[in-house]
Amino acid sequence: MSGEPIVSPFTTLGIVGTGAMGRGIAQLAAQAGLQVMLFDVKEGAVKEANAFINGLWQRSTEKQRISTDQAQQYSERLIEAYELADLATCDIVVEAIVEKLDAKQGLFRDLEAIVSPQTVLATNTSSLSVTAIAATCQQPERVIGFHFFNPVPLMKIAEVIPGLRTGEDVTKRVNALGKAMGHFTAQTTDTPGFLVNHAGRAFGTEALRILGESVTDPATIDRIMVDQGGFRMGPFTLLDLTGLDVSHAVMESIYHQYYEETRFRPSPLTRQRLAAGLLGRKTGEGFYRYVDGKQQLPDEPTIESVPPCPVWISQDDPQSAAALTELVTAAGWPLEAGAQPTAKALCLLTPFGEDTTTCALRQGLEAQQCVAVDMLAGLNNRRSLMATPITQIAYLQAASSLLSHDGTPVSVLQDSNGFVLQRVIACIVNVGADIAQQGVAAPTTIDRAVELGLGYPFGPLRMGDHYGAARIMTILTNLCDATGDPRYRPSPWLRRRAALNMSLTAA
């Protein structure tokens, strides 16, 4: 790339709705060199938005991020409009009004009577069909989705969503506009949730399912996903941050729009908490309590150090066995090398998608001696253990002591298929693979959009490559077989590429 700034294909942009989203879009457009006309039906909203945006630029000059001249130039590009008819000269109008289909359709019909036939009408909708919004317009070919994320200046991504009748030239020009505004533009098809919200369905819903099965508590799930999975925050911290009044509605909307697709099934837990008013940070309590805005976390359980005992490691997965052997040796615990353990050995198992019980019985082992270790992410910043319902407490204590000998925290879970990390990661990869299968967006676009829009450590397809597509397939297949739930059925995109040892990012 030359590094030259991208020139916008538009000169004058109108904003209808000057709330948080409208202000952010207006700020970026002015910085990209466009004249921006601000309109809102609420009295005083336009002046308030103008002052707010100028205040941001003023603070930027004080911090020497931009010059005083730049701030002045940006400010001069903001124009206050007091009637919808004032937007007649705009060559693109972006609406950021209430998320209701009839309101957006009505606005676009009104705009068609005002603007020129060549003016593009863009909707910032996050959940409504662009095709449906355009359906009552005389020129549906000029209507397109242009979806930003909050806060707009910081979230460097915009989804560009052509409806079924959107013109190809309109799509190209809006893509170019997004890039001129400094954002990555993810072109996606007009499907429920578009790309980013669609790809984000697995993170929270699978964590809620794990919680609903009493595998462990919200804090432990969050700690595992942050420490083992490398996520910026855990799913329950995220749900509290977003607010269940928003999150649950999105879960239900996408689930129903996909005609009850099981991969997107919501949880009754959020419906109950919504009814109780436990929305998260905004109400002072959600999955966590908040005191003066600070999240109250339970203490990590104390792990008691116990004397070493003989350790036998399953050779089910040689790579995992080698890593555990190195850990046991470093800890100085005696290691058994026989094909079968002695009656006194702690048996460490490394299942993928199985529970400890099934894994122990399949290998002909005494379940009382068995403890499973999640090896999907190796022995990194946290270790997760599961025992069978009849594992003797002494063996679970020994495993906890051994796995924490070097100071690494250990989380102990109830016996379940796929631990926590395996289940959530496999579901994220599977949903991403199905997005690719549906042709919602190109594989590279899917990954980049998710990394920018959701802050995941990898996009879902790269995540599958990172952990291994074959291993993700094993986890999903075992989950599907054990539960009978089609939620875990592998996507054809994943199944074929795993069988062929291909990258999931390959088109």
Q: Which residues are catalytic?
A: 126, 147, 159, 197
Q: Residues 78-89, buried b or exposed e (16+ Cβ, 10 A)?
A: bbebeebebbbe
Q: Note whether 383 and 328 are within 8 A (CB).
A: no
> What element of type H or E holds 102?
helix 101-112
DSSP 181-235: TT-EEEE--S-TTTTHHHHTHHHHHHHHHHHHTTSS-HHHHHHHHHHTT--SS-H
Asked if 56 and 27 count as a contact pair (C-beta separation under 8 A), the reply is yes
**Which residues of 251-302 form beta strands (DSSP E)?**
289-291, 294-296
SS (H, E, C) 128-157: CCHHHHHCCCCCHHHEEEEEECCCCCCCCE
Convert 414-447 to b/e letters by CB count within 10 Å (16 or more is b).
ebbbbbbbbbbbbbbbbbbbbbbeeebbbbebbb
CA angle in degrees (0–180, nearest 5) for 31-32-37: 75
Least Cα distance to 398 among 366, 365, 362, 373 occurs for 373
d(CA 476, CA 392): 29
CA dist., res. 205 & res. 171, Å (int): 33
| Phi, psi angle pair for 488, to nearest 5° | -100, 10
The 3-state DSSP class for residue 384 equals strand
- Assess contact for 150 and 21: CB atoms under 8 A: yes
- CA 37 to chain centroid: 33
CA–CA separation, 412 vs 8, rounded Å? Answer: 54
Supply 290's token pair.
Answer: 């908040």
How many CB atoms are located within 10 Å of the residue 296 CB? 10
Query: Around Cβ 137, how many Cβ atoms within 10 Å?
Result: 18
